[in-house]
Chain A
Amino acid sequence: MRDVPISNCEREFLLAIIAEKKRVDGRQPTDLRQVKIQFGSNFGSCEVSFGKTRVLATVSSEVAAPKQRRPNEGILFVNVELSPMGHPSFEQGRQTEESVELNRLMERCLKESRCVDLESLCIVVGEKVWTVRVDVTVVNQDGNMLDCASIAAIAALAHFKRPDVTVKGQEITIHTSDERDPIPLSIHHMPLCVTFAFFHQGKFLLIDPQEREERVTEGKMVIGMNKHREICMLQVTGQMLLHQDKVKQCTKMAFVKVVEMTELIQEALANDKTARSKGEKCGFAMSSEKEINTTVSPAKLVEDVSKTDLPMSSDSDSGSEQEMVEAGPQERPVGDSPKVVGKGVAIIGSAAVKKWEEEEERVKGDKKGKKKKEASVKEASVKGQQSRPQASAYF
């Protein structure tokens, strides 16, 4: 289907407000949208949403022959599908530049970082190994598919359990889940992607760009990182030049986001586990039942509107906290020393981690009244509103 082009009017306006460090949806430049992780009732199915962007990941396994060059390793296969459901411009069964890029980035992020222990997937050396397949489907595209997909894929892998196998001489038995408990994969670390979109010759950057912001971006930088601060992948695309300080600055920001996300995934996994052990029902059927509403509930919209106040209220602040967005040539005392936080940069550096945790608790506390705590769903939204007074405490 033909794609609706972005008009000059939208383009100019978006670029203008980005230069004013504002965003159309009221977020701060480095804020994420609301992230939500849900698990299905089958092991290894996971749905992640970033605002309106939604991605479904499913992990499956089967026994196959290993690759000749690596006879004692299992195989991990990653496939990202841009389903026509996700966007009118996505066509069924057609490879586009976009889908190839997404596939390659996901492969690099998951396979080349060796986050899944492939040796433990070997059954008989040189003959039989497990092939683990991750199918990622973009169900709704509203920007930042990669970050969303990487969380979905790694969460699904961590959630997945393969059948147990016993080898007796030549005989291989695959046990059903009734006979023996299925075995989870061993995941060494969780590489997650963080995308930065750059505007105005790399002068301004946004985290978690929306679809329309993605359309006017000059270039993007993707950092794949785990919570141990190890970079698993880094890619810069687009027509722009970046200063090396900028790259360093971005990796620091990425680290904070990655820690936050990893915690979120682990909490969602833990919630799912407790729900299962209690014998509660879980899965998509249950989760959609719990938060069902045929349209957006008015209560949520009121929240949304109050959010629209944010870009305006942020105006009253002096530019201090927005400093970080600028390609700051000034030296920042950041890095290994965990105590030091850059000027107004509440989310850079290790000390900042503490702040995020506190804030998350606050957010949770705030929300308790409004939203039910769901068994398999944990929502964390980071709002500038709450972060601001705290951020100023660091100045």
Chain B
Amino acid sequence: MAAHMDRIVLPGDKISDLKESETSKKVVLGPGLRTETEDVYACKPGVLKFKEPNVYWIDTHQKRYVPVKGEHVIGIVTQKAGDIFRVDIGGSDQASLSYLSFEGSTKRNRPDVKVGDIVYSRLLVANKDMEPEVVCIDSHGRSSGMGVIRSGGFLFKTSLNLVRKMCNPQCVLMKSLGNKFPFEVMVGMNGRIWVKGRTNKETVALANAVCAAEHMTNPQIKAMCHRLADALAGFE
């Protein structure tokens, strides 16, 4: 439905002529869309997106995170309370993290987590009525990259929109930065990004580049990455 694609909608806009799936005669409504009686309305401001065969959603620009089950987030440990840790993930409630949900942890072998540490974790429970819970293992009990991050680097916050953009495998920013110099990055869907370059200087440059890329077009991003790499190389 080309007419719908990438159109800017505001809350209260009625979305009509939705394309149904040919087999099930159904439409899938993603974030930012809701039904009232028979009609579909937007409830968030943003760009209306469509994906074959029948998925619609609104791409919103926002800063505040609302937990969604299964998403990877970067949390900050704020408290140790008995068997669980309290983790700030930027939502309305703090998430809980059990000491058993780390790879290889047992009742005897507790993980080494301190207040103020950052953890890359996944939301196991995210529900508007319940306290969110995060875990640092997948369903096979493996860490698969998650856990406490204590290898330097820098953490900063951006908008949720930029984070989603960065998670796209076709992301121009990540590709062009990656072409220029090696770095480690960890992107939480809650808007927190952790980066680590070879040196502190590079880390600062990376963090600034990511923040600056928010309102840039793809050619601008490429140009910026070029300049950045030149600046870094020129003074090394």
Give the B-binding residues of A (Cβ under 8 A): 2, 4-13, 16-17, 20, 22, 24-26, 295-298, 301-302, 304-309, 311-313, 315-316
Contacts and interface: CB of A to CB of B under 8 A. Distances in A.
A312 B201 contact: yes
Contact of A312 (B90, B152, B215, B232): B232
A308 B212 contact: yes
B152 A13 contact: yes
A297 B152 CA distance: 33
Contacts of A25: 208
Contacts of A306: 227
Contacts of A9: 117-118, 149-150, 152-155, 194
B204 A305 contact: no
Given A5-B116, A9-B118, A24-B204, A305 B209 contact: yes
A111 B42 CA distance: 54
Interface string B200-236: 1101110111001001110010001001100110110
> SS class of chain A's interface: helix, strand, loop or mixed?
helix
B95 to A, nearest CB: 13
Contacts of A316: 235
B165 interface: no
Contacts of B88: 2, 4-5
B114 interface: yes
26 contacts: A2-B88, A4-B90, A7-B155, A8-B118, A9-B118, A9-B153, A9-B194, A10-B156, A12-B152, A13-B155, A13-B200, A17-B204, A22-B201, A296-B215, A298-B215, A298-B216, A304-B212, A305-B212, A308-B212, A308-B231, A309-B228, A309-B231, A311-B204, A312-B205, A312-B231, A313-B235
A305 B224 contact: yes
Interface residues of B, number: 37
A6 B216 CA distance: 28
A10 B208 contact: no
A4 B154 CA distance: 16
Contact of A4 (B76, B205, B209): B76
B78 interface: yes
Given A8-B117, A13-B203, A313-B234, 11 more contacts: A7-B116, A25-B208, A296-B215, A297-B215, A308-B204, A309-B228, A311-B201, A312-B201, A312-B232, A313-B235, A315-B201
A17 B203 CA distance: 10
B96 to A, nearest CB: 15
Contacts of B228: 305, 308-309
Contacts of B232: 312
Given A302-B220, A308-B205, A20 B117 contact: no
A301 B210 CA distance: 11
Most buried by A among B153, B212, B228: B212
B152 A7 contact: no
A25 B201 CA distance: 11
B76 A7 contact: yes
A309 B201 CA distance: 9
Nearest to A310: B231
Given A8-B116, A13-B203, A301 B154 contact: no
A69 to B, nearest CB: 50
A57 B227 CA distance: 40
A293 to B, nearest CB: 10
A296 B234 CA distance: 29
A353 to B, nearest CB: 31
Nearest to A19: B200
A8 B194 CA distance: 12
Interface string B63-78: 0000000000000101
Interface string B134-178: 000000000000000110111110000000000000000000000
Contacts of B224: 302, 305
